[in-house]
Amino acid sequence: MEPYTSLNLIREDLKSGKITCCELVEYYLKNIEDHKYLNAFLEVYTEEAQETAKKVDVKIKEGTAGPLAGLVVSIKDVLCHLDHGLQASSKILEGFQSQFNGTAVQRLIDADAIIIGRTNCDEFAMGSSNENSAFGPVLNAIDNERVPGGSSGGAAVSVQADMCLVALGSDTGGSVRQPAAFCGVIGLKPTYSRISRHGLMAYASSFDCIGLLAKNVDSIAATLEVIAGKDDYDSTVSQKPVPHYSQNLTPDSEYKIAYIRETMEAEGINEEVKAKTVEAIEKLKSNGHQVDAVDFPLLDYLLATYYILTTAEASSNLSRYDGVKYGFRSPHTHDLESMYKKSRSEGFGHEVKTRIMLGTFVLSASYYDAYYTKAQKVRRMIRDETKKILSKYDFIVLPTSPTTAFKLGEHSEDPLEMYLADLFTVQSSVSGLPTISIPNGKDNGGLPIGLQIVSDDFQEEKILAFSNYLINLN
């Protein structure tokens, strides 16, 4: 079987009888088996996927199949899937199974998508390299000595190595976009609140988004239109109607695009990444689009704002993992206090503990105003300033990451260096704006480079159409 990248094509071939869902599933299962060493999956639902494929094949014959029939999807280990393991790649949830389907997962199932397995990630989605997993790192399929990015590293590799068509990940500060860039695939973080967070394990609630990865825009569009939209279980989800993204992928003839001057001059930006970004800008210009450099002086405050607010929320969100009700409880305890301390010390990994402590600190009474309150104000400014640019331009384009995929262990000594990997992705996260990362060529070593496209709130339709256009332009 030739690798598929487009759900449209799969649908056509299913309809014509050229392939069956069973064959598709076998194809992906074989790829998963062949790429086991990449460590992308924590669990593969072999029999279940085969069973579902059979049922969907029958439905296709009967003409009763749902809109995502033929879609084989992986889900990141932070998405609740009834009676399936759920650990956020952490020891603290040892043996835990979700007792419900999250909204996105339920909608996938209802639409006849086939869930093939759950993917590895950084513990509690905290990380930019997928090295913070209790189940070991995920390897980049292009270069096995390099990281796939994180935190949705398993998700990115599952698409990269053709182990499924679409992957659901989560993006709090770039966790879908950055691994997409490192792996040479497309990664979309929709507008905050576009997809219900019911059934998405919380890292930083006011930032967390379910994101989608695939090799083709139409596959992302078709999946997004199924899983997005209002939901009774999430009071923060947007009530806005969901457009038919997959039907509206025709681009406009002329766009107004901004790029942020400061990003191109940022410390640590790799020359090749910069050159490819400039190349993309030039190409857009030569195709008749207006591209201007704009200033964004708040760039220096992005990472601080992001890390103060996300760690604050995380310190509270992760309090529930205490060894009392479920998951891991340390065997070395003799009373309540030692149960808490030991269970959490032994159950959480180093990065997670670092962030819990950081968050606890910034929320503590003596420092609250200096850090949390101030960061909230700066967050508002960042959003306002970014939206101001977007009131004049259709998109902002910027590199996804300052570098291409780095080597395993390369940044493990200095967390600050690792945090710099998020420099270009956190702006949209802090602002809640929809952003996609699309492949933008490769460096001299053949490592993929990503380009981000940011638009105003709920402009996913526009982003997808533009991305489709830009990818085909390359």
Q: Looking at residues 147 to 176 of the shown chain, list those that interact with other proteins (rule: CB under 8 A).
A: none
Is there a catalytic annotation at residue 76?
A: yes
- The span of 174-182, 203-211, 378-386, 448-456 binding other proteins (CB under 8 A) equals 203-211
Which is nearer to other proteins, 56 or 75 (by Cβ)? 75
Among 28, 348, 372, 458, binds other proteins (CB under 8 A): 372
Window 62-101: contact mask with other proteins (x via CB under 8 A):
----------------xxx-----x-x----x--x-xxx-
Could you tell me which of 313, 40, 342, 288 has the C-alpha nearest to residue 163? 40
Q: Which residue in 90, 129, 133, 151 is the catalytic one? A: 151
Which is nearer to other proteins, 278 or 370 (by Cβ)? 370
Q: Looking at residues 287 to 326 of the shown chain, list those that interact with other proteins (rule: CB under 8 A).
A: 312-313, 315-316, 318-322, 324-326
Considering the complex, what minimum distance in angstroms separates the CB of residue 317 from other proteins?
9
Distance (Å, whole) CA 186 – CA 179? 9
Q: Is 200 in the site for other proteins (CB under 8 A)?
A: yes
Q: How far is CA 275 from CA 59, 278, 279, in A?
A: 49, 5, 6
Among 180, 201, 291, 352, binds other proteins (CB under 8 A): 201
Considering the complex, what minimum distance in angstroms separates the CB of residue 202 from other proteins?
8
Considering the complex, what minimum distance in angstroms separates the CB of residue 40 from other proteins?
22
Print the SS3 string covering 246-300: HHCCCCCCCCEEEEEHHHHCCCCCCHHHHHHHHHHHHHHHHCCCEEEEECCHHHH
- The span of 181-189, 276-284, 285-293, 358-366 binding other proteins (CB under 8 A) equals 358-366
The set of residues, in sequence order, having a beta carbon less than 8 Å from that of 356 and lying 6+ positions away, is 311, 314, 315, 318, 348
Considering the complex, what minimum distance in angstroms separates the CB of residue 314 from other proteins?
11
Among 293, 336, 370, 381, binds other proteins (CB under 8 A): 336
* Sign, CA torsion 107/110/114/116: positive
Please check whether residue 109 is in contact with residue 228, taking contact to mean a CB–CB distance below 8 angstroms: no
Considering the complex, what minimum distance in angstroms separates the CB of residue 80 from other proteins?
4
Could you tell me which of 76, 163, 223, 189 has the C-alpha nearest to residue 434? 189
Window 234-273: contact mask with other proteins (x via CB under 8 A):
xxx-------------------------------------
Q: Which amino acid is at 250?
A: T
Considering the complex, what minimum distance in angstroms separates the CB of residue 313 from other proteins?
6
SS3 state of residue 166: strand
Please check whether residue 400 is in contact with residue 425, taking contact to mean a CB–CB distance below 8 angstroms: yes
Which is nearer to other proteins, 124 or 393 (by Cβ)? 124
Which is nearer to other proteins, 244 or 377 (by Cβ)? 377
Which is nearer to other proteins, 202 or 303 (by Cβ)? 202
- The span of 30-38, 150-158, 359-367, 424-432 binding other proteins (CB under 8 A) equals 359-367
Which is nearer to other proteins, 301 or 340 (by Cβ)? 340
Q: What share of the chain is helix, strand, coil (3-state, %, to 5)?
A: 45, 15, 40
Give the number of residues in contact with other proteins, rule: CB under 8 A.
Answer: 45
For residue 437, list its beta bridge partners: 187, 452
What residue has token string 């790429």? 35
Considering the complex, what minimum distance in angstroms separates the CB of residue 316 from other proteins?
5
Return the structure tokens found at 451.
């380009």
The total of other beta-carbon atoms located within 10 Å of residue 219's CB is: 27
Considering the complex, what minimum distance in angstroms separates the CB of residue 173 from other proteins?
15
Please check whether residue 19 is in contact with residue 1, taking contact to mean a CB–CB distance below 8 angstroms: yes
The set of residues, in sequence order, having a beta carbon less than 8 Å from that of 321 and lying 6+ positions away, is 90, 92, 93, 327, 344, 347, 348
Is there a catalytic annotation at residue 74?
A: no
Distance (Å, whole) CA 208 – CA 125? 10
Q: Which residue in 98, 170, 175, 246 is the catalytic one? A: 175
Positions annotated as catalytic residues are 76, 151, 175
Which residues contact other proteins (rule: CB under 8 A)?
Answer: 78-80, 86, 88, 93, 96, 98-100, 102, 197-202, 204-206, 232-236, 312-313, 315-316, 318-322, 324-326, 336, 340, 360, 363-365, 368, 372
